[in-house]
Structure 1
Amino acid sequence: MSTAAGHDDIGALVGADRVAGTLYTDPALFEREMDRIFQSTWVWVAHESEIPKAGDFRTTWVGRLPVIVTRDRKGGINVLLNRCRHRGASLCEAPKGNANGFTCPYHAWSYALDGKLRGIPYPDGYEDVVEKKDLPLVRLKVGVYAGMIFASFNEDVEPLEDFLGDARPWIDRFMKQTAGYPVKVQGEHKFRFLGNWKIQLENTTDWYHFPIVHRSWMSSVDAETASMLSIMTDDSAVTHALGNGHSVAISVAEHVDLDVDDGTEKLQDRFAHIVEELSRDETMTPEQIRRIVRSMHGVGFNLNLFPNVAMSMSFFRVLRPISVDETEIRHVALGLDGGPDVVNRERLRIHEHFQGPFGFGSPDDAEAWARVQRGVAGGADLPILVNRGLAREKPNDSGLLTSHATDETGMREAYAMWKRMMTDGE
């Protein structure tokens, strides 16, 4: 079939246990995704800790469209298309900063933090031609949940809380990893791989690959850490389909809710220096110290939020589609806002060891993703199988489809949402 020739029967590209290889390779299908998915639903753009003060901003993307996320003088959060209303130049190229507003470098049209057009140089040529109130920056719809900022070009998009649905309690649990301190972004790094965005989307709740792709990381850490993530035969390691394309994969069941502690878990020896340093602080109780140290690796699950952000144990992984066969990834390290320096430093070292540009995990993942793209190009008419665990998948007590963490329940959920959005109204 030719999706370029009218997208005939796109629904047939996604089955219950497989998807067509052309989902990774068809440029026309990719263009449709940008419209039907990335410009139609909620897309994650930032965390509130990245813009804490009035005038703070960061630039990012919604699909392939550049946006500016700002905190205005009234404390409001705005997401603005990074495009001057005059001749279309980008307004801001800095990744983040603090500003009173934004001025176009081409003809100096200037805009407020909320997008209002404030000034036009040499306005006499615009008398009876332009009213400033008619030409604000394009504003996206904004929603915030638990500090997570989402935006949508679709004014009629469903309420954010409805879109997140059964993922909301998992977001709440994820935010518990900072032991009572607010979550803060400590930094990030980004890289690109030569592959389709959906290859990475599949990865976050895919524990089947972990002991294979990440053997080098497993051999580089202490036995306690390696044992914590040895889940192949662990019946408590499960994946839940959460609806709307979202899924969660549990790897360390006892760390799903970090507020729950029966006191029997031994703290890892590798963190003894943290216990020692925190114990010198007379304001810290033994219970607080234990709570912080138990959370050093983050939570015991990976949460995938369709279509572009994962909340993976202790960091955010954000994808940005560049083209049908290229994707940018941002790995965002998290810490305790106002928390002990020794804790935030150690969390950064843990992040760097796996997710960092010189770590063990990211290069291995990126190579695997690129190999999928190269392999599919050699046989795009062959299906991609997402059938692992299908025979043992069943609803749990809450009605969520559930299977083992190594099964492909999360992928089937994401592709069900993909199919729904790509065929809606046809």
Structure 2
Amino acid sequence: MKTIPIEAVRPVALRWPADDFSRVPYEIFHDPRIYQEEMQRLFHGPTWNYLGLEVEIPNWGDFLTTWVGDTHVIVTRAKNGAVHAFENTCAHRGSRIVDTVRGNAKRHTCPYHLWNYNLAGELTALPLEKGHNGKGGMPPCFDKKDHGLRKLRVAICGGLIFGTYSEQTEELQAYLGPHSLSQIDRLLVQRKPKVIGYLRQKIPSNWKLYNENVRDPYHASLLHLFQVSFGIQTPAMQGGIKMDKEGKNTWNHSILSEQDAKSREGLAAAYADTGKFMPDLELADPSLAQVKLDLDDNYKTTILSMFPTLIVAQVDNTYAIRHLRPKGPDAVELHITYLGFENDTPQLLHNRLLSVNFIGPAGYISLEDGEALRLVQEGTKSLRGAHSVLEMGGIGEINDTDYMSQEISIRGFWRHYHRVMQFPPAGHADTREAA
């Protein structure tokens, strides 16, 4: 793969005005050169990228296709049970090999010239390798072992499959950190998950804006009318944000809110003149908002975000894997995998599907979030040299909180993004000239 010199893709004078990342330059969401650099430094760099779930490929020969940044990848289960991941691009002439989302195959064959690859991505056979009647064929120096598919290093945690291109990426458990590991155990390990549905949503915004959205707990009770009116999520609930390694690892974090019967008290005053709190609003079917939590720890919402593109979410009894797939500087595909669990009773499964009505394809959350991000993308595309303001919850240190009205975890995302992208120190202009 050709590597583009960083000097050729980095824009001139991209300025991060604040070293606590309470200011983010708007060009970061629009410049195509930044997007291309992200594909190299982030997705092909020292990060663990979510690839899929083990339960999606339970049998040998099972495969799924996914995306690491803008690179299409095949994930397979080999006969010995090992999971492999490699690029879905033939080593011969670059054709896409697999053009389905998932399936089962004992080998993968390029449809163009029939080069055959095993389930580890190794080239095993190709027609006319020795030519025909003593003519043609590959040269004597050709060795199939030199022409396998480009592989990723694979690791698995709690049934989540991750891949990385870099040998410098730290071990997966260290990368995730103790808090993320504890939440993965709570949400995905204590009960064996099963897939109950998929949803894809294309959002006309930069992929990093969605990362801001899921690290922003206070927008939910402002943007989504029904959230606060029906008591699903309110700013008065107990909760906050938790980051790993005592705040040093700020690229992975979770938003946690607890069910609290008293949390609606005082909301009328807090929402005065906003039109967003309507306590008399009623559902035709109140049971939609009265699903009993099936975990006994009282957490009503968990949004666990792992850099760069994975979110494991629990909203009431709806459990989902959200995966971001960048589609250029101004578009992202949100791929959602909805989960049930092996021992779910018919009633419990019914209750999960009821909750999906709020946040799934029949609900408002994805729709309203997508529209809000579109408005930001449109509103900032001509603002060269301007920046956002991330001061809710305070500025300075990036630490855990026990309150929801904050943007601190967004700043944690940007601090790590800035580090991996190797921008000049925040608070100083980049004065280097582009090549």
Instruction: Decide: shared fold, TM above 0.5.
Output: yes
8 A contact 2:191–2:342 mirrored in 1: yes
- Which aligned pairs between 1:164-313 and structure 2 lie closer than 5 A? 164-166=176-178, 167-175=180-188, 180-216=190-226, 226-230=230-234, 232-234=235-237, 236-242=238-244, 243-252=249-258, 270=287, 292=294, 300-313=301-314
State the 1:132 CA deviation: 1.6
Q: Does 1:101 align with 2:114?
A: no
Q: Does 1:315 align with 2:320?
A: yes
- Which aligned pairs between 1:26-37 and structure 2 lie closer than 5 A? 26-37=31-42
Partners in 2 of 1:386 and 1:317 — Cα distance?
Answer: 24
- Percent of pairs identical after alignment? 29
8 A contact 2:10–2:37 mirrored in 1: no
Could you say what secondary structure the match of 2:187 adopts?
Answer: helix
Summarize deviations over 1:104-132 as a string: whole Å, max 9, x none.
00000111111121211112102514222
What value does the CA root-mean-square deviation take over the aligned residues? 2.9
Summarize deviations over 1:54-98 as a string: whole Å, max 9, x none.
111100010000000111100000011101111110110110111
Which shows bigger deviation, 18-27 or 62-71? 18-27
Partners in 2 of 1:362 and 1:107 — Cα distance?
Answer: 42
In structure 1, the partner of 2:150 is 138
Partners in 2 of 1:253 and 1:205 — Cα distance?
Answer: 20
Runs of 5+ consecutive residues of structure 1 not aligned to the other structure: 220-225, 255-268, 275-289
Summarize deviations over 1:348-398 as a string: whole Å, max 9, x none.
342243222x3221111110010000111142422111111015x878xxx
Runs of 5+ consecutive residues of structure 2 not aligned to the other structure: 1-6, 131-136, 261-285, 426-435
Partners in 2 of 1:353 and 1:228 — Cα distance?
Answer: 10
State the 1:212 CA deviation: 2.1
- Which aligned pairs between 1:32-71 and structure 2 lie closer than 5 A? 32-40=37-45, 41-71=47-77
8 A contact 1:186–1:335 mirrored in 2: yes
In structure 2, the partner of 1:283 is none
Which shows bigger deviation, 180-189 or 107-116? 180-189
Which shows bigger deviation, 193-202 or 7-16? 7-16
State the 1:214 CA deviation: 1.4
Aligned to 2:387, which of 375, 383, 386? 383
Aligned to 1:157, which of 157, 162, 169? 169
Partners in 2 of 1:11 and 1:171 — Cα distance?
Answer: 36
Summarize deviations over 1:99-158 as a string: whole Å, max 9, x none.
111100000011111112121111210251422222221110111111111101112211
Which amino acid is 1:173 matched to?
R
Could you say what secondary structure the match of 2:99 adopts?
Answer: coil
- Which aligned pairs between 1:317-332 and structure 2 lie closer than 5 A? 317-332=322-337
Summarize deviations over 1:318-340 as a string: whole Å, max 9, x none.
11111111111112101112532
After superposition, the Cα gap between the structure-2 partners of 1:24 and 1:13, relative to the gap in structure 1 and judged at 3 Å, is farther
State the 1:13 CA deviation: 6.0
Which shows bigger deviation, 162-171 or 408-417? 162-171
8 A contact 2:359–2:365 mirrored in 1: yes
Partners in 1 of 2:28 and 2:289 — Cα distance?
Answer: 48
Task: Count matched residues.
Answer: 378
In structure 1, the partner of 2:275 is none
Partners in 1 of 2:300 and 2:308 — Cα distance?
Answer: 21
In structure 2, the partner of 1:122 is 128
Partners in 2 of 1:382 and 1:217 — Cα distance?
Answer: 32
Q: Does 1:367 align with 2:379?
A: no
Partners in 1 of 2:377 and 2:326 — Cα distance?
Answer: 14
Partners in 2 of 1:187 and 1:14 — Cα distance?
Answer: 42
Which shows bigger deviation, 74-83 or 200-209? 200-209
After superposition, the Cα gap between the structure-2 partners of 1:103 and 1:171, relative to the gap in structure 1 and judged at 3 Å, is same
Could you say what secondary structure the match of 1:227 adopts?
Answer: coil
8 A contact 1:143–1:151 mirrored in 2: yes
Q: Does 1:342 align with 2:354?
A: no
Partners in 2 of 1:24 and 1:411 — Cα distance?
Answer: 15
Aligned to 2:98, which of 92, 97, 121? 92
Partners in 2 of 1:273 and 1:247 — Cα distance?
Answer: 28
